[in-house]
Structure 1
Amino acid sequence: MLRGRDDECREIRRLLDGPTGGGALLFQGEPGSGRTALVTYAHRHAAHRTALAGTGLADEAALPYAGLQRLLDPLLDRAGALPERQQSVLRRALTGEGCPACHRLALSMAVLGLLAVTARERPLLCTMDDVDQGDRPTAEVLAFVARRLRDLPVAVVLTAGVDATADGIPGYRLRPLGEADSRAVLADRLPGRPPETVVTALAALGGGNPQALVDLAGALTPGQCRGEEPLPTAPPPDGGLARAYRARLDRLPPDTRRVLLLAALDTDGDPATLTRAARAAGTTVDALAPAEAAGLVRVGPHGVTFPQPLARSMVEATAPLARRRAAHLLLADLCAGAGRRLRRALHLAAVAAGPDPLLAAELAEAAAGGEDGWATASAALRRAAELDPAHAATRLLTAARYAWSAGRPDEARLLLATLPAADPAGSGRADLLRGELELRCGAPPAALTTLLAGAEAVAGTDRAAALGALARAGEAACFSGDQYRYAEVARRAQRLCRPDDPPATELTGALIAGVAATLRADHERAGPALRRAVVLGDRLAAAELTPTALCSAAVAGLLVAVDSAAHRLADRAVALARDRGELSVLPRALDLRAVAEYWLGRHEAAGESSREGLRVARATGQANGVAVHLGMLAVLAAVRADRATSLRRIAEIGEAPTPGSRPHALAQWALGVLDLVDGRHADAAARLASLARTGTGRGQVLVQVMATPYLVEAAAHLAHHPAASAALAVFDRWASSTASPSRRALSARCHALLAPRGSAAAEQGFRAALRLHPADAGTFERARTELLFGQELRRSRRPRDARAHLHRAREAFTLLGASTWAEQATAELRAAGESVGPPEREAAHLLTGQQLRIARLVAQGATNREVAARMFLSTRTVDHHLRNIFHRLGVRSRIELARVLS
């Protein structure tokens, strides 16, 4: 089976089975991309055709028409059917006598005629693999023929490298396989069921190249298949891909190969270093010209790049050992003069023949802190572990931590799996990393257990690390919806806190204490602790400043509703994570920034933060971060009544999140808002009330607090609303403990909605909310309050008072691009007797299918009873639908309805 090549195989079948049976295809791809497999596929599906097969051979590239002679040799006995002049030209070319330029057209016509003569007996398939590797005259003749097959039962399939060109021939670039297809290629060839970490790492290493994946699968030891030994870092030097590259490289001049190897080994790509290296090797960078012409590299003002993902590693893997060794030593000398300590140590380590504790120590010291990139530092520490087995455990553990910082969780897991037996403290530190990986990429409930165990193991030697682990354990409990377990986390953290803790450690302790108090609704204790965490986050010294510490301070800011401070801290965490390349923490920082932007009313900015977080989480394998960002995007779309986008994001989440988890709660919040927008108030209230179970410590209390204004709005349409009242009581206790005007405005609006219609309490609540909404932020929520107040006044038979509020709501929603809410405000204005334009959207987009059918019948003059009879509905149901139709379209009579539908 050709994995990931469905489109190409379909084109081959279409060519072979087409009505004329003629045509041509050109497949271009890098070595190992499956070009030869496609040629084989064409022959396998051409049983009813005469088949000719040729391959471009580099050894014959200097022999004009050598490839054409091999291809046409089986047909030469039919050449007598050609005109005499064409026979003569063809014979001279194929016997090595050449073909003058003035006879090339005659030669090309002779080849076309020979194929046509053969195809009279039976349709013909003619293939030439690697046509660009053989002699150029053969390629030119075949291209000429391929462009003239429209009415002949001759199919031509050619393959070439990515830089080959052939005008007039349908070409298909063979793209790298996607992850799913790469994993399938490996599954076809790996024995048993290897761990997911092994398959994922190999799929990434293969770079989507089918031959590389096949070679990797064939080269694994049993221990590597089981994930018990380190995996290779490149496809094997004796595999099919390496042979293809070796043949390609052997055609280059010696100086070109020498400089190309230096460019491959100098991964920094510094042009000055390569220039000096080439000069030291006795040549210049200009020697790369043939390699650039062959498509192996691109040379620009910023250095040398390898456009094909595996070309760099293949250049290194196929070079003779002595040449590699000399190149590494040359680059090591240059790095010493340039102050590139880690690069120098890596070059020396590449040629070390056995254990070398001194070089291992140099690698470890130079890699500390990841200044040259976390991935490079991780590789250095892995090599240090090999050079000094006595210190392997500590260095492998640090290498795993660095791999995770670089956003490579599978690599980190593999390194953890290869750790030798260690002391309990070392095992505890490994558990801290395992728990963090599980929190971001796996099962948060399991992460909670692992993190608690790790914190217990290291508490005696590293209190700061233990407190950090407890903070993540608390996050795991909240993510899973098991907030009742946070009390245990807080008790353990309290035992570890000291009055003289440094600011970063004090911040973590204050956060845990504040979150625990918040979850038990003890806001008198929560407030001071959380505000202290925010202050500490702003005061962290450079030595203690990390994205994780800033994220902790941002969480505290959100919990005490200091939205601007929370946004500032989260934004600093994002910037710092990017600057340091700490991809593992970036999705979390972007999540917190998006939540702060939501509370600030910056929905567009929140969406952009979540979209970036989604991209990074997917790229770094953080499945839980992916689900959270999808959930937030679904909520943001639902709040703006963008049904299609919200449902699409929810569908992307899938069914993986367990009920009660944060992604599941975000999806339910979004669906509840959509229910509210569509007027399904009972469904909306039930869905939003289910986000948390009051008094049990289960579910998503913090998500439900965010969703409470929508729960109350839905419940206001119901006769009984105990769940909404209970949720509002929780919201009130929190809002009143903060200094946030926006939270108090939402609280006042909720109480106004639950007050009796037309009562003084309702009006006072709405007016209080409008006074409290900040003038410089929260435009959307202010507009929602204006709309709801306008609805209350109109339904209380005060249309004149309602109009000013509805006008302001309509204007704000229009400016914000919230078209559905603007249309609701328009409908309310019309119902209040205001003369406003018709809805901007067509009725067909505003109504359900059944509502649209009813509306059209009514517009045609049918009575409600007649509509009920024709649609097999009760008259009461038709009355109900008609009221909703009038409301959605902003009309007040059947005459206006007919006008809108016309």
Structure 2
Amino acid sequence: MQITVLRGRDDECRAVRNLLAGVPDGGGALVLHGEPGSGRSALIGYAHRYAAEGCTVLAGTGLAEEAALPYAGLQRLLDPVLDRAGVLPEAQRHLLRLALAGEGCPADRRLALSMAVLGLLAAAARDRPLLVTMDDVDRGDPPTAQVLAFVARRLRHLPVAVLLTADVTATIDGVAAHRLGLLNERESVAVLADRLPEWPCAPVAAALAAVGGGNPQALVDLADVLSPGQCRGEEPLPGAPPADGALGRAYRARLDRLPSDTRRMLLLAALDEDGEPATLIRAAGAAGTAVEALAPAEVAGLVRVGPRGVTFPQPLARAMVAATAPLAERRAAHRLLAGALDADGQRLRRAMHLAAAQTGTNPALAVELERAAAGGQGGWATASAALRRAAELSDQPTRAAARLLAAARYAWAAGQPAQVRLLLGRLRAVCTDPTVTGHADLLRGELELRCDAASAASATLLTAAGAVAGTDRALALTALVRAGEAVCFAGDQYRYAEVGRRATALRRPNDPPAVELMSSLVAGVAATLRGDHERAGPALRRAVVLGGRLTGPALTPTALTCAAAAGLVVAVDGAAHRLAERAAVLARERGELSMLSRALELRAVAEYWLGRHEAAAETSRDGLRVARAAGQVNCANVHLGMLAVLAAIRADRETSLRRIREIGEAPTPGSRPHALAGWALAVLDLVDGRHAEAAARLASLARLGTGRGQVLVQVMATPYLVEAAAADLPHRPVATAALAVFDRWASSTASPLRRALSARCHALLASRGSGEAEREFETALRLHPTEAGTFERARTELLFGQELRRSRRPRDARGHLHQARETFILLGASCWAEQATAELRAAGESVGPPDLPAARLLTGQQLRIAQLVAEGATNREIAARMFLSTRTVDHHLRNVFHRLGIRSRTELARAFAAERHAGLASDR
């Protein structure tokens, strides 16, 4: 039997199957509630197909046209089985015949009529189980709904199933109910793909999923009207489901049943998206009505009216009310709302309403929109929409082009890459001015860097820098900084020299701090990549200092991320972290999603070097959410790569491989996400003792001396490369060369951690049991900072302990191994703790489970979560009490289990109970 797939309705289909599975042993009933277009009718169809071979099916639909005809729906439903009415008692048969003939039923005989219907269905089910369905039961005549509800409550001993559907506002007491939820983005995209001749590109799919609001019918209607150009992202997408689609018709039918004043007020409320009560009251007064006219719409469940304004509980209702209104009525409503707004305090909203009511060009209104939206007033997305409309109202092509360019910049800040592509496409078609084209290329290059083919971004950005260098050096340097990011992302570091030469040519004495900061960053990175650390260090440190001094208009997320990047290259991790944190905070405050993901990427790297692995993972998860929301696929893949590395370092194989699978095959070989995934896989190989495989992966990250591949990632991973190569002789020459690069960098910094790692690497490559190996290990332990990098220090203790044990010095090894084991336990790094335990046992020491109290093993927050779990609280309850997300609680609880060496909540409760008893015993 072929069952049509219903996207995102697995739970509902399962409920229908469970309902039908129980029919032979005694029936039941189910009511499916949902907003228009949510798929109620599709589920009725699914039930019919599923029951076709095992049940007789009686199907009906509630019709609004027959709502005033008592028992009209019942007559249509029962018509196929009326020949079985002869088994009913004469009085019931007579009453049923009168009711279905349109003669009604006296109030005191309704029970008898309902029993007659129940008896008729029982008779119809005598030979074969029966499925009775009524779609939109609340739309038809109320007496039919009352009889079916009566029957649905009395099926326990009958082979009859009743399946009803109704709006979310309908209630049927005593019958099991299920409300249909919204589809998520993945399910929405699947619905679109089922209907479209070709799979829509990712930004288009995401945008359409948002417009569809998780409503299946809305998505089907959108797919039916989508042009090939829209599917490819070359033309503007619809802002709402089509008014003449099935969903539009359903809403129009609902609205037509409301009084005209109610429809007028609904349209005003739908168009006034800010929802200030005073605005709506003034607009209603100007329209000759009042907010009270919304009462019928509130009863119908379309809106909720409260002290803070009017809200639409069904996500698509607002859009459909506006979309189904005639154009003349929409324009009149916009004019009323504009008249109700203050020209000064609500300038942008007023101008937007006036523009929506305007036809043709209007230069004065275009200027007003431009001024009102300047600087992203009202939010970047709203400001972008205002400038798009201003371009349409412009009567001069040059002004229209400038406004389109500004609209594109604002859309980029708002995290709307699909909108940026469309606006740049329109701009290219109407503008040939080289300066405007240069500005557009800068934006296009950044779009390519973050969202598309990063390998092409550097060429676009270098072109943009050349185009604007004569008129705006600061913008040209911004383009060069982005071009440098692009060549590093793509693994083409040999091309950074060209970026550096161009930046040097643009540098001037007494440049403003933000301009000097960018030129210092480019100069420092260029020198670093060619191994000239004597020149690199001062330039990069200057960029860090300038970043810390920025104030006023120069203080931007872009400038701060430049300073943070410089700090990471020159290994001042604390300063880099502070700058990246400031950049992230500022980007959030300003709503600049385009820069937020990059700031979080830099903060995560700083936290990695500071040894704050859990914080780095949380930052990367945050960055991943932001990047995905902003459509920045490349940035999302970098965060996924970082999460894979962090999970691998903790020996969390499942999480690391899952993150790598999420990256997929999109990143090209040599790109940063590809290299991070390789690093993660190499660490997993190392954990499993596959040293040759680990060394081969890490050696392939970059081709030293050529500037190709991910040089910076390989430098970060060099300690793992050396550790793998120390046990695999064929890869020692590559590891030695990589260590030489690492050494030159580390020695040029003031970072004790880098120097400690360098010493550890030299110890690993020294002859086993040699004095050189012992001296280098001791140097590494002396250099490891005590306030940060505890994980790396513990790794050094473990490796030193291994060296001493294998050199037949077990007594000397035990102290280092004990220290490593305790640190790993405290950090929740259970796999590494197990390795230290195994080494201790090999050194002749009997080691049991950790006997440290929970207060020492857990952080303060973890300890509080563990205590609440031990008391029986659920993750949701803990999240509410501690003002955390349930995801965060779940993350911390997994770490608690790792650190305490337990596997379940029950074991956790027992561990805390035992600890309390031990504490009481010691007190006594």
> TM > 0.5 between the two?
yes
Partner of 1:882: none
Partner of 2:410: 402
- Asked if structure 2 preserves the Cα contact closer than 8 Å seen for 1:513 and 1:529, the reply is yes
Partner of 1:70: 76
- Asked if structure 2 preserves the Cα contact closer than 8 Å seen for 1:826 and 1:839, the reply is no
Letter in 2 for 1:306: F
> What pairs with 1:407-426 in structure 2 (closer than 5 Å)?
407-419=415-427, 420-422=429-431, 423-426=433-436
Report how far residue 481 of structure 1 moved.
0.9
Residues 404-426 of structure 1 show CA distances to partners (whole Å, capped at 9, x for unaligned) of: 21111112212222223312222
Counterpart among 559, 577, 580 of residue 587 in structure 2: 577
Q: Bigger shift: 774-783 or 187-196?
A: 187-196
In structure 2, relative to structure 1, the CA distance for the partners of 1:192 and 1:771 (3 Å cut) is closer
Report how far residue 89 of structure 1 moved.
4.0
Partner of 2:903: none
> What pairs with 1:6-17 in structure 2 (closer than 5 Å)?
7=10, 8=12, 12=16
Letter in 2 for 1:392: A
Partner of 2:596: 586
Letter in 2 for 1:30: E
Paired residue secondary structure (1:335)? coil
- Asked if structure 2 preserves the Cα contact closer than 8 Å seen for 1:20 and 1:150, the reply is no
> What pairs with 1:543-554 in structure 2 (closer than 5 Å)?
543-554=553-564
| Alpha-carbon distance in structure 2 between the residues aligned to 1:263 and 1:303 | 9
Please tell me whether residue 90 in structure 1 is matched to residue 99 in structure 2.
Answer: no
| Alpha-carbon distance in structure 1 between the residues aligned to 2:815 and 2:288 | 83
Please tell me whether residue 746 in structure 1 is matched to residue 750 in structure 2.
Answer: no
In structure 2, relative to structure 1, the CA distance for the partners of 1:98 and 1:331 (3 Å cut) is same
In structure 2, relative to structure 1, the CA distance for the partners of 1:86 and 1:564 (3 Å cut) is same
Counterpart among 595, 601, 607 of residue 611 in structure 2: 601
Please tell me whether residue 756 in structure 1 is matched to residue 759 in structure 2.
Answer: no
Counterpart among 827, 837, 846 of residue 816 in structure 1: 827
> What pairs with 1:468-547 in structure 2 (closer than 5 Å)?
468-547=478-557
Partner of 1:385: 391
| Alpha-carbon distance in structure 2 between the residues aligned to 1:248 and 1:641 | 57
Report how far residue 566 of structure 1 moved.
0.5
Partner of 2:266: 260
Q: Bigger shift: 468-477 or 133-142?
A: 133-142
In structure 2, relative to structure 1, the CA distance for the partners of 1:811 and 1:189 (3 Å cut) is closer
| Alpha-carbon distance in structure 1 between the residues aligned to 2:784 and 2:228 | 65
**Percent of residue pairs identical:** 76
> What pairs with 1:731-810 in structure 2 (closer than 5 Å)?
731-810=742-821
In structure 2, relative to structure 1, the CA distance for the partners of 1:811 and 1:191 (3 Å cut) is closer
Partner of 1:29: 34
In structure 2, relative to structure 1, the CA distance for the partners of 1:753 and 1:5 (3 Å cut) is closer
In structure 2, relative to structure 1, the CA distance for the partners of 1:33 and 1:469 (3 Å cut) is same
> What pairs with 1:268-287 in structure 2 (closer than 5 Å)?
268-278=274-284, 281=287, 284-287=290-293
Residues 639-661 of structure 1 show CA distances to partners (whole Å, capped at 9, x for unaligned) of: 11222221221222222222211
Report how far residue 663 of structure 1 moved.
0.9
- Asked if structure 2 preserves the Cα contact closer than 8 Å seen for 1:728 and 1:747, the reply is yes
Residues 289-337 of structure 1 show CA distances to partners (whole Å, capped at 9, x for unaligned) of: 4434433234455443323221111111223444433332232123225
Counterpart among 445, 448, 451 of residue 441 in structure 1: 451
In structure 2, relative to structure 1, the CA distance for the partners of 1:836 and 1:519 (3 Å cut) is same
Partner of 1:875: none
TM-score by length of 1: 0.87
Partner of 2:848: 837
CA RMSD of aligned residues (A): 2.7
Please tell me whether residue 118 in structure 1 is matched to residue 129 in structure 2.
Answer: no
Please tell me whether residue 4 in structure 1 is matched to residue 7 in structure 2.
Answer: yes
- Asked if structure 2 preserves the Cα contact closer than 8 Å seen for 1:3 and 1:181, the reply is no
| Alpha-carbon distance in structure 2 between the residues aligned to 1:175 and 1:479 | 40
> What pairs with 1:22-61 in structure 2 (closer than 5 Å)?
23-43=28-48, 50-61=56-67
TM-score by length of 2: 0.85
Paired residue secondary structure (1:157)? strand
In structure 2, relative to structure 1, the CA distance for the partners of 1:301 and 1:782 (3 Å cut) is farther
Paired residue secondary structure (2:553)? coil
In structure 2, relative to structure 1, the CA distance for the partners of 1:549 and 1:30 (3 Å cut) is same
Partner of 1:873: none
> What pairs with 1:639-788 in structure 2 (closer than 5 Å)?
639-719=649-729, 721-788=732-799
In structure 2, relative to structure 1, the CA distance for the partners of 1:368 and 1:88 (3 Å cut) is same
Please tell me whether residue 139 in structure 1 is matched to residue 142 in structure 2.
Answer: no
Report how far residue 211 of structure 1 moved.
2.4
Paired residue secondary structure (2:666)? coil
Report how far residue 375 of structure 1 moved.
1.1
Letter in 1 for 2:270: A
Q: Bigger shift: 88-97 or 449-458?
A: 88-97
Q: Bigger shift: 276-285 or 621-630?
A: 276-285
Report how far residue 453 of structure 1 moved.
2.0
Paired residue secondary structure (1:52)? strand
Residues 143-192 of structure 1 show CA distances to partners (whole Å, capped at 9, x for unaligned) of: 33234445545443322223334455454433334445544544555567
Please tell me whether residue 339 in structure 1 is matched to residue 317 in structure 2.
Answer: no
Letter in 2 for 1:393: A
Report how far residue 402 of structure 1 moved.
1.5
Report how far residue 100 of structure 1 moved.
5.6
Letter in 2 for 1:803: R
Q: Bigger shift: 539-548 or 111-120?
A: 111-120
Residues 812-858 of structure 1 show CA distances to partners (whole Å, capped at 9, x for unaligned) of: 11111111222222222333333431589xxxxxxxxxxxxxxxxxx
| Alpha-carbon distance in structure 2 between the residues aligned to 1:485 and 1:730 | 19
Structure 2: unaligned runs, 5 residues or longer: 852-924
- Asked if structure 1 preserves the Cα contact closer than 8 Å seen for 2:473 and 2:506, the reply is yes
- Asked if structure 2 preserves the Cα contact closer than 8 Å seen for 1:200 and 1:410, the reply is no
Letter in 1 for 2:339: D
| Alpha-carbon distance in structure 2 between the residues aligned to 1:417 and 1:201 | 17
Structure 1: unaligned runs, 5 residues or longer: 841-902
- Asked if structure 1 preserves the Cα contact closer than 8 Å seen for 2:691 and 2:727, the reply is yes
In structure 2, relative to structure 1, the CA distance for the partners of 1:728 and 1:16 (3 Å cut) is same
In structure 2, relative to structure 1, the CA distance for the partners of 1:10 and 1:809 (3 Å cut) is closer
Paired residue secondary structure (2:804)? helix
Please tell me whether residue 250 in structure 1 is matched to residue 253 in structure 2.
Answer: no
Paired residue secondary structure (2:165)? strand
Paired residue secondary structure (1:20)? helix
| Alpha-carbon distance in structure 1 between the residues aligned to 2:47 and 2:465 | 60
| Alpha-carbon distance in structure 2 between the residues aligned to 1:560 and 1:66 | 81
- Asked if structure 2 preserves the Cα contact closer than 8 Å seen for 1:793 and 1:802, the reply is yes
Report how far residue 771 of structure 1 moved.
1.8
Please tell me whether residue 632 in structure 1 is matched to residue 642 in structure 2.
Answer: yes
| Alpha-carbon distance in structure 1 between the residues aligned to 2:245 and 2:845 | 78
Report how far residue 804 of structure 1 moved.
2.5
Residues 790-826 of structure 1 show CA distances to partners (whole Å, capped at 9, x for unaligned) of: 2223333333333322222222111111112222222
Partner of 2:861: none
| Alpha-carbon distance in structure 1 between the residues aligned to 2:814 and 2:171 | 68
> What pairs with 1:130-209 in structure 2 (closer than 5 Å)?
130-149=136-155, 152-166=158-172, 169-187=175-193, 189-190=195-196, 198-209=204-215
Report how far residue 458 of structure 1 moved.
2.2
- Asked if structure 1 preserves the Cα contact closer than 8 Å seen for 2:23 and 2:160, the reply is no
- Asked if structure 2 preserves the Cα contact closer than 8 Å seen for 1:823 and 1:839, the reply is no
Report how far residue 483 of structure 1 moved.
0.8
- Asked if structure 1 preserves the Cα contact closer than 8 Å seen for 2:23 and 2:161, the reply is no
Letter in 2 for 1:464: A
Letter in 1 for 2:666: A
Report how far residue 765 of structure 1 moved.
1.6
